[in-house]
């Protein structure tokens, strides 16, 4: 059992990145280390060609050409031993993103605060032709010697890439108006900060100054799912990470996520995943043995 506990804790944290921003150009990049990485920074991968798999939290995605791969801070990920990737990798922290104009913030919120719905974005040949030069230009700028406004210039390029990514993503092209867009972004940001304190749609609606019905309709229009589903998704993602990659007792995880009792948490988890917390953890423990 001791070995199994170690397997749960075998996580690598991101190394610190100067000024919370980096861009790498990868040519048939291999991944020799299959330990799990916890993302301290948000990531955008432009994959022009590739093979293998990437596991993000507990979902597996194929690494293929002509795709964008998004990983949000806090997520756990690892590439398979046979993974090979050609393209670009952008890492950025929230403090770097704050350098970008406010007009692009809605794109980041919808893409990264709801990352599991936007993890992998397929690209057409026309998409690649439009977005690849942007990554290339940003990489060239990143490699230049430092100058006083360099971070601002790179933030401007990142803003354009984020807007283009949002436009390419079909789930963000539903034509909802800018006011709804801003409200939906506000809701996602509140959920990402407060999911440990409250699970109630009514409380989030109160903070936003709108009715519970309005918030539910807003989420259905902007995301194709209800407000409660978005809150539950945040809770389940964090619960899975804690069960899979920590040795915390289920009771401690339940209280950490603000459930009244471990039994209430177990019922919630099983209802949403069809397995109990103990069964979910046992599956990964036996893989690590």
| Same domain, residue pair 232 and 149 | no
Domain boundary among 108, 138, 172: 172
* Backbone dihedral region for residue 248 (phi beyond 0: left; psi -120 to 50: alpha; all else: beta): beta
In this structure, the answer to whether residues 186 and 162 fall within a common structural domain is: no
**Integer CA distances (angstroms), 196 to 2, 191, 232, 233, 234, in order:** 30, 9, 11, 13, 10
**Domain interval for residue 242:** 178-288
Which of 154, 172, 190 delimits the end of a domain?
172
Number of domains in the chain: 2
pTM over 0.85: no
Residue 159, domain CATH: 2.60.120.10
209 and 167 in a single domain? The answer is: no
CATH code, 257: 1.10.10.60
* 138-183 residue pLDDT tens: 999 999 999 988 998 999 999 999 888 888 875 444 544 467 777 8
Point out the domain boundary residue: 107, 137, 172. Answer: 172
Residues 130 and 109 in one domain: yes
Same domain, 182 and 228: yes
**Average pLDDT of the residues of the chain:** 85
């Amino acid at each position: 059992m001791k070995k199994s506990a170690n397997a749960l804790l075998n996580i690598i944290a991101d190394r610190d990145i100067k000024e919370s921003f980096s861009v790498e150009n990868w040519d048939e990049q291999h991944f020799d280390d299959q330990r799990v990485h916890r993302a301290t920074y948000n990531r955008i991968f432009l994959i022009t060609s590739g093979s293998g798999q990437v596991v993000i939290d507990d979902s597996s995605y194929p690494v293929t050409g002509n795709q964008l791969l998004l990983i949000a801070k806090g997520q756990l990920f690892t590439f398979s031993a046979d993974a090979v990737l050609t393209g670009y990798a952008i890492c950025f922290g929230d403090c770097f993103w704050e350098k970008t104009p406010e007009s692009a913030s809605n794109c980041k919120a919808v893409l990264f605060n709801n990352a599991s719905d936007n993890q992998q974005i397929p690209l057409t040949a026309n998409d690649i032709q439009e977005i690849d030069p942007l990554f290339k230009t940003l990489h060239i700028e990143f490699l230049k010697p430092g100058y006083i406004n360099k971070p601002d210039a790179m933030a401007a390029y990142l803003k354009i890439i984020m807007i283009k990514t949002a436009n390419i993503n079909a789930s963000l092209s539903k034509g909802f108006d800018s006011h709804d867009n801003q409200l939906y972004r506000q809701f996602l940001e509140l959920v990402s900060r407060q999911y440990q304190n409250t699970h109630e749609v009514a409380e989030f609606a109160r903070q936003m100054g709108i009715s519970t019905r309005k918030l539910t309709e807003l989420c259905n229009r902007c995301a194709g799912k209800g407000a409660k589903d978005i809150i539950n998704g945040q809770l389940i993602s964090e619960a899975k990470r804690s069960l899979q990659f920590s040795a915390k007792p289920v009771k401690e995880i339940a209280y950490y996520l603000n459930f009244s009792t471990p039994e209430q948490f177990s019922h919630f988890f099983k209802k949403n995943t069809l397995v109990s917390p103990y069964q979910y953890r046992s599956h990964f423990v036996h893989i690590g043995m």
